[in-house]
């Protein structure tokens, strides 16, 4: 539930920041008559994201078990690719996001009436589609049956909903100037956490592909600590819900986890240090 809360918080805050920048710029430049176009674009983006999530949830149910596992495995890997790109992109673009959006607003305001709707829809819709796909993959991984224990599906969805609600409140407070958040630090810490979550989703996607018969080694276990970490225990449920940890992990799952988490975390931390270095240099110079 915590991992889904942070997914909803991070993705929701990105969307909330985009909306607050769009709205604040239009208000400050005296173009409040264009605000309804922003809200139309936001509404369309939310509707598309919900429809996409529903299609992911209910679409494959009429297929065979192997087909469902194959689709689930592929989409889990796609979700990991999207969230990895999002983590690196947001960490690098957080500083210049405001100026980029303002430039898009100025161009759209001078164009057709639908241009501003499209700007808002694309800016928010990207976050919504990423959120729907990654939440679906994380929720599916969290509900995998293991030794008779299944995490209730409402818990990850509730966590995501609470995260999105928190993001909406924070976005409004940021717009009103009530709070200041160090976005670089926020996206760095949450990005590092999401890399670990994504590694678990990737491992689960590999497991899906093994169950579909697309990949070998389903019964070739790397370790099985089910007798030590029971999936039905509170700590087993916690590890599963946050990190998608499986007490019985195949060698291919473990290899996928390591080959993803180690290099991605290395490059992410190195990039974060590189971005913080100019600040330290400027502070020393002053």
Q: Is 70 exceeded by the pLDDT of residue 107?
A: yes
Q: What is the 3-state secondary structure (H, E, C) of the chain?
A: CHHHHHHHHHHHHHHHHHHHHHHHHHHHCCCHHHHHHHHHHHHHHHHHHHHHHHHHHHHHHHCCHHHHHHHHHHHHHHHHHHHHHHHHHHHHHCCCHHHHHHHHHHHHHCCCHHHHHHHHHHHHHHHHHHHHHHHHHHHHHHCCCECCECCCCHHHHHHHHHHHHHHHHHHHHHHHCCCCCCHHHHHHHHHHHHHHHHHHHHHHHHHHHHHCCCCCCCCCEEEECCCCCCCCCHHHHHHHHHHCCCCEEEHHHHHHHHHHHHHHHHHHHHHHHHHHHHHHHHHHHC
More confident residue, 202 or 240: 202
Lowest mean pLDDT among 6-20, 44-58, 63-77, 102-116: 102-116
Sign, Cα dihedral of 262, 263, 265, 270: positive
Residue 204's pLDDT is what? Answer: 85
Lowest mean pLDDT among 21-25, 103-107, 280-284: 280-284
Q: Are 203 and 244 in contact (CB under 8 A)?
A: yes
Q: Is 80 exceeded by the pLDDT of residue 77?
A: yes
The tens digit of pLDDT for each residue in 120-130 reads: 887 788 778 87
Lowest mean pLDDT among 29-33, 155-159, 179-183, 254-258: 179-183
* Domain coordinates in residue numbering, the chain: 2-277
The rounded distance, in Å, linking the Cα atoms of 176 and 191 is 26
Q: Is 80 exceeded by the pLDDT of residue 257?
A: yes
80 closest CA partner among 250, 242, 225, 203 = 203
160 closest CA partner among 197, 199, 192, 206 = 197
Q: Are 82 and 202 in contact (CB under 8 A)?
A: no
Q: Is 90 exceeded by the pLDDT of residue 57?
A: no
Q: Is 50 exceeded by the pLDDT of residue 256?
A: yes
The tens digit of pLDDT for each residue in 207-253 reads: 889 988 899 988 898 988 888 887 677 677 667 766 777 888 899 99
Residue 109's pLDDT is what? Answer: 66
Residue 152 pLDDT level (bands cut at 50, 70, 90): very low
Residue 266 pLDDT level (bands cut at 50, 70, 90): very high
Q: Is 50 exceeded by the pLDDT of residue 150?
A: no
% residues pLDDT > 90 (the chain): 9
Residue 93's pLDDT is what? Answer: 65
The maximal CA–CA distance of the chain, rounded, in angstroms, is 66
Please give the model's pTM, rounded to 2 decimal places.
Answer: 0.69
């Amino acid at each position: 539930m915590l991992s889904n809360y942070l997914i909803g918080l991070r993705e929701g805050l990105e969307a909330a920041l985009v909306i607050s920048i769009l709205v604040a710029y239009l208000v400050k430049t005296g173009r409040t008559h264009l605000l309804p176009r922003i809200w139309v674009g936001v509404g369309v983006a939310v509707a598309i994201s919900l429809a996409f999530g529903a299609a992911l949830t209910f679409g494959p149910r009429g297929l065979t078990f192997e087909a469902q596992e194959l689709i689930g495995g592929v989409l889990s890997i796609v979700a990991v690719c999207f969230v990895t790109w999002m983590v690196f992109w947001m960490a690098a673009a957080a500083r210049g996001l405001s100026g980029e959006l303002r430039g898009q607003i100025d161009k759209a305001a001078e164009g057709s009436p639908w241009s501003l709707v499209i700007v808002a829809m694309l800016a928010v819709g990207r976050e919504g589609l990423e959120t729907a796909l990654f939440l679906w993959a994380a929720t599916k991984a969290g509900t995998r049956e293991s030794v008779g224990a299944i995490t209730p599906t409402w818990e990850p969805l509730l966590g995501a909903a609470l995260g999105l609600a928190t993001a909406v409140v924070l976005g409004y407070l940021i717009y009103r100037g009530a709070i200041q958040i160090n976005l670089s630090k926020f996206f760095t810490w949450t990005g590092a956490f999401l890399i670990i979550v994504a590694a678990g989703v990737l491992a689960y996607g590999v497991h899906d592909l093994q169950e579909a018969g697309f990949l070998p080694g389903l019964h070739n276990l790397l370790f099985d600590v089910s007798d030590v970490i029971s999936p039905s225990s509170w700590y087993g449920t916690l590890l599963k819900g946050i990190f998608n940890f499986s007490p019985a992990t195949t060698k291919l799952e473990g290899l996928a986890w390591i080959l993803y988490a180690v290099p991605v975390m290395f490059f992410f931390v190195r990039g974060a240090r590189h971005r913080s270095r100019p600040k330290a240099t400027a502070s020393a110079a002053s």
